[in-house]
Amino acid sequence: MTAREYDLIVIGAGAVGENVADRVVQGGLSVLIVEDELVGGECSYWACMPSKALLRSAASLRAARAVDGARQAITGELDVAGVLRRRTKVTHDWDDASQVKWLGKAGIELLRGHAEFTGERELRVTGDDGSVTELTARHAVAVSTGSLPLLPDIPGLRDIEPWTSRDATSAREVPASLAILGGGVVGAEMATAYAGFGTEVTLIARSGLLTREEPFAGELVKESLEAMGATVLTGVDVTAAARDDHGATLTLSDGRTIVAEQVLVAVGRTPRTGDLGVEAIGLTPGEWLETDDTLRVNGFDWLYAVGDVNHRALLTHQGKYQARAAGDVIAARAKGTAVDDAPWGAHVATADHRHVPQVTFTDPEVASVGLTEAAARKAGYDIRVLDYDLSWVAGASTLSDDYRGTARAIVDEKRGVLVGATFVGQDVVELLHSATVAIVGEVPLDRLWHAVPSYPTLSEVWLRWLEAYGRPSAG
């Protein structure tokens, strides 16, 4: 057994943990990062990157078929084997050598193994070979272990060994039929991907599709999935599951049964804190680690939780944002600098409350930031809702012969600024950051009149929103 000491120890070498470590190293401190799987984490190998690779090829084919002159050139069908090859290339065939190399260049030490708390600022790491390393953090420990798929308590579900999101994004073969439980981002994206492969998809979404978005988002995605041949069932629960030689059978609350070769469960996430030994420091295993805006765990002066594990915003880009904030704060506090007095003192994680941007890579894409109409009204804002049919924007006609899409802006009437925006349609993802800047920066609508959108692009929707609103009066 060996013993080692560092200024900061980070548990979890995913995108979030890497960014915490990098920021603190840049602040002049020593950092060790502990990882029991692949350096690069969920996003690189089982989530963001492989899922988008699986979606892209069929989306490109559909886009070409929607344009006269291009559709005539298409003589074949989607090469599913080619899609899977490209996905595997994107994940580097689940090899993290390049990520490990980056850690070395960044000055971050890596220890492979499973970490458990043994006391305040103290950890024990057990390697795959049984080796044990005792670690002490001089200043802080940052937990960046992410989250795990939630498996609901449905009789027989565990016995049929359903897929989780990891299985769906790393599959080497495509099933003939797939039943998906859950109508959130993962469920909607994987329904889109597998329907594009020609798989017979049944999506079971009890409360509807993408219910955290504006209602029209789920409606347009549902219509698109059904046009691809998928079946979307809402208002029903799965009450039992079983498997035999014919596949998996799901019994629904209305008495119907669904038979599929494979079942994907995508109903939510749970914190990855169950096996970290957090009971040794007075916390409860399996619970989210709640933090303040500096990402310090409530009740501790040395423990930080960054990314999914704190349940603030379960998105990679938001986790990396938190990581930058946490890294700067840890470095400042280690040097005895008051966070508010440090040059980076204002950079604490406040943009993961109401200003969170998110993209769902369905077809059509759904891109949103800030509050929905319902959320804004619930929060007590005096709002005006601006809806615009994106097919009326000149740029849309250059993309597709039959463009369908909607854009909604939520205006805080009291301040004359946007507090929410949602775009649904082909290629809307690149509209999102302009909305994020406008909302986070609280840019007055009367100034947005001078941010002239290029013609003919989808960005012209900004002008159409302003025209619908009418020029705000001065003051």
Could you say which DSSP state residue 444 is in? B
**Tell me: the pLDDT tens digits for 438-456?**
999 999 999 999 999 999 9
Q: Is 146 left (phi over 0), alpha (psi -120 to 50) or beta?
A: left
β-bridge mates for residue 230, sequence order: none
**Tell me: the pLDDT tens digits for 136-191?**
999 999 999 999 999 999 999 999 999 999 999 999 999 999 999 999 999 999 99
- 6 in Cβ contact with 66 (< 8 Å): no
The per-residue b/e assignment along 12-33, b for 16 or more CB within 10 angstroms, e otherwise, is bbbbbbbbbbbbbbebebbbbb
> How far, in whole angstroms, is CA 27 from its chain's centroid?
28
The per-residue b/e assignment along 35-56, b for 16 or more CB within 10 angstroms, e otherwise, is bbbbbbbbbbbbbbbbbbbbbb
The per-residue b/e assignment along 233-263, b for 16 or more CB within 10 angstroms, e otherwise, is beeeebeebeeeeebbbbbbeeeeebebebb
- 159 in Cβ contact with 27 (< 8 Å): no
> Whole-angstrom Cα distance, residue 227 to residue 65?
14
β-bridge mates for residue 249, sequence order: 242, 259
Task: Enumerate the CATH 3.50.50.60 domain ranges in the chain, comma separated.
Answer: 2-40+96-148+270-341, 158-267
With 60 as the cut, is the pLDDT of residue 472 above it?
no
**Tell me: the pLDDT tens digits for 352-375?**
888 999 999 999 999 999 999 999
Dihedral through CA 14, CA 19, CA 21, CA 27, nearest 10? 180
More confident residue, 349 or 255: 255
- What is the CATH architecture of 2-40+96-148+270-341? 3-Layer(bba) Sandwich (3.50)
From start to end of 303-457, where are the E strands?
303-305, 357-360, 365-370, 383-389, 406-412, 417-425
β-bridge mates for residue 242, sequence order: 249
Could you say which DSSP state residue 427 is in? T
Instruction: Work out the average pLDDT over 400-426.
Output: 97
Q: Report if pTM > 0.75.
A: yes
The per-residue b/e assignment along 371-383, b for 16 or more CB within 10 angstroms, e otherwise, is bbbebbeeeebeb
What does the block give as tokens for 16?
């979030």
> Whole-angstrom Cα distance, residue 369 to residue 192?
22
As a CATH number, domain 158-267 is: 3.50.50.60
Neighbours of 81 (CB within 10 A): 10
Give how far Cα 452 sits from Cα of 53, 168, 210, 462, Å: 33, 42, 32, 9
Alpha helices of 198-279 — where are they, by DSSP H? 215-227
Give backbone dihedrals phi and psi of 312, rounded to 5 degrees, phi first: -80, -45
CATH fold for domain 364-469: Enolase-like; domain 1 (3.30.390)
> Whole-angstrom Cα distance, residue 214 to residue 424?
10
Q: In a 10 Å sphere around its CB, with 0-12 CB exposed, 13-18 middle and 19+ buried, how is residue 216 labelled?
A: middle
pLDDT, position 353: 85
Instruction: Work out the average pLDDT over 219-233.
Output: 97
pLDDT, position 340: 60
Q: Measuring CA to CA, which residue among 408, 405, 74, 124 is closest to residue 275?
A: 124
> Whole-angstrom Cα distance, residue 212 to residue 229?
25
With 80 as the cut, is the pLDDT of residue 119 above it?
yes
With 60 as the cut, is the pLDDT of residue 392 above it?
yes
With 90 as the cut, is the pLDDT of residue 1 above it?
no
Strands 303-305 and 132-143: parallel
Q: Measuring CA to CA, which residue among 409, 430, 405, 429 is closest to residue 421?
A: 409
Q: In a 10 Å sphere around its CB, with 0-12 CB exposed, 13-18 middle and 19+ buried, how is residue 188 labelled?
A: buried
pLDDT, position 341: 54
> Whole-angstrom Cα distance, residue 236 to residue 259?
16
With 50 as the cut, is the pLDDT of residue 345 above it?
no
DSSP codes, 49-99: HHHHHHHHHHHHHHHHHTSTTTGGG--S---HHHHHHHHHHHTGGG--HHH
Could you say which DSSP state residue 275 is in? T
